[in-house]
Amino acid sequence: MELENNAFDMRRCIEDVLDLVAPKALEKRLEIMYYIDPAVNQYIFGDGFRLRQILVNLVGNAIKFTEKGEIFIQVGIKSIKDDEVHLEFSIKDTGIGIPADKLSGIFIPFTQADTTTTRKYGGTGLGLAITSKLVNLMRGKIWVESTEGQGSDFKFTIETQFTQPVGEVSNADEMLHNLPGKHVLIVDDNPTNRKILQLQCGIWGMQSTVAPSGAEALRILAGDQKFDIGILDMQMPEMDGMMLAREIRKTWDKNTLPLIMLTSIGHNSGSEEMQNLFTYFVNKPIKHSHLAEILLKVLSPSSTRITDELLLDSDLSQFAARYPFEILVAEDNIINQKMIRNVLQLLGYSSDVVANGLEVIEAVKRQHYQLIFMDIQMPEMDGYEATRIIIDHLKDDRPIIIAMTANAMKSDREKCMEIGMDDYVTKPLKVEDLKKAFQFWGEKQKTKRLS
């Protein structure tokens, strides 16, 4: 295995991972958060795809072995010498933990800390071994600190270099200078989340006051301090975010104190009352880039003040209901399979998975699929050959075939189209890219049925 060495946005890399793992975390009502030390450059050199694989595996394991509580991802600098930077990543959970006598063998292939966990949680014991190999390829080390019954903290380092932004920089990156001096009230019962939001707002130059409950927030608001905006968590004991917002609106309207709601994907945020109470919603896990853009929309003097318009992240889990497809995924890499299925699940889709072109041919003989995500490089038979056979045998009744490849060259796309593939997405798959693909082909199918 060889690593690529390109400039990439590490924050986006982590946020892509959050998109992939969010359904499982929210299903178990787990808080999942991340924090990047401000000394760490957002843009680094390395293999962003492999870093995603490492993080998806470790965060996925943390979610699997945690029944309640939180998963916290943190990135800091281990050491710097000249241009060489060693970053340290930490994935800390509040799960079942690992017995002390099992820690030394946790990264050995086909090893489980306890055979009973295999029966309860599933898994082969290969994931951590693969992750360890990838970390070694990145000239880093991986280890774990754990106390049985109290959780685990998987840590790893990678060797990299800081670099400059590649491509377009988001509006939020360009306009963050509009936030300094603004005062925000943060209300959240989770102490880790409060701390992260406070630190992040501090990085943007904002002043923040935190409250662990709705009652404390109301006490603070009754004082002399004036706030530009409030960030409220929805899920809080005794007084949740909506109940708190109702109390706040008795004194302050949306113009005087705009409110942002932190909520779970799928929560009904489109009701008339919610629109009257809140200006914006942010889905969990919180992506700092998204939060920055929303704060700028509300607080930037150069933008039009939005008070009646509500920004709603579309209910991703209902996407499949609008554009239904029977989906087959052809991908030989086990970690990639997990990543792809997770991001499809986020959009509400179930899928069947095969590992090579021969299995694709067998699968389409057994069942009718409307759409195939086809990896190009697979053993036994690659995606090109499998596509040729499907086109020759199924003719006009064939499924839509969307190529998946890590290569983003124009020549690669042209080759896929020449062979007869219908569309093209680059790995790692991103939610926005898939939404566009499903919407395009879904609308095309509707038009075809009407004609």
Q: What is the DSSP string of 157-221?
A: EEEE-B----SPPPHHHHHGGG-TT-EEEEE-S-HHHHHHHHHHHHHTT-EEEEESSHHHHHHHH
The pLDDT tens digits along the chain (451 residues) read 678 888 888 998 998 888 888 878 888 989 999 999 999 998 999 999 899 999 999 999 999 999 999 999 999 999 999 889 999 999 999 999 998 888 877 887 645 545 554 445 444 456 788 899 999 999 999 999 999 999 999 999 999 999 987 554 554 555 566 688 899 999 999 999 999 999 999 988 899 999 999 999 999 999 999 999 999 999 999 999 999 999 999 999 998 999 999 987 555 555 788 888 998 888 888 888 888 888 888 886 544 333 333 334 445 666 788 899 999 999 988 777 877 887 888 788 889 999 999 999 999 998 999 999 999 888 889 999 999 999 998 877 899 999 988 755 566 778 888 889 999 888 777 777 888 899 899 988 877 766 5
Contact 374, 425 (CB under 8 A): no
User: What does the block give as tokens for 256?
Assistant: 């005087």
User: What does the block give as tokens for 396?
Assistant: 């006009």
Amino acid at 2: E
Pairing assessment for the beta strands 400-405 and 371-375 based on DSSP bridges: parallel
Q: Residue 16: is it exposed, middle or buried by C-beta count within 10 angstroms (0-12/13-18/19+)?
A: buried
In eight-state DSSP terms, residue 402 is: E
For position 5, what pLDDT does the model report?
86
Q: Residue 188: is it exposed, middle or buried by C-beta count within 10 angstroms (0-12/13-18/19+)?
A: buried
Rounded Cα–Cα distance for residues 338 and 316 (Å): 19
Of 85, 69, 56, 281, the residue nearest 154 (C-alpha): 56
Q: CA-CA distances (angstroms) from residue 344 to 79, 136, 350? A: 38, 30, 7
Contact 3, 137 (CB under 8 A): yes
For position 248, what pLDDT does the model report?
97
Q: What residue ranges define each of the domains in the chain, with the CATH number in brackets?
A: 6-160 (3.30.565.10), 178-313 (3.40.50.2300), 317-450 (3.40.50.2300)
Burial readout 410-444 (b: 16 or more C-beta within 10 A, e: otherwise): eebbebbeebebbbbbbbbbbbeebeebbeebbee
For position 313, what pLDDT does the model report?
45
For position 58, what pLDDT does the model report?
95
Of 244, 166, 178, the residue nearest 212 (C-alpha): 244
For position 269, what pLDDT does the model report?
56
For position 327, what pLDDT does the model report?
96
Amino acid at 143: W
Rounded Cα–Cα distance for residues 264 and 346 (Å): 12
For position 335, what pLDDT does the model report?
72
For position 267, what pLDDT does the model report?
55
3-state secondary structure of 147: strand
User: What does the block give as tokens for 219?
Assistant: 């006490």
3-state secondary structure of 248: helix
| DSSP per residue, 251-288 | T--TTTS-EEEEEETT----SHHHHHH-SEEEEESPPH
Entry pTM: 0.69
Backbone angles phi, psi at 289, to 5 degrees: -65, -40
In eight-state DSSP terms, residue 140 is: -
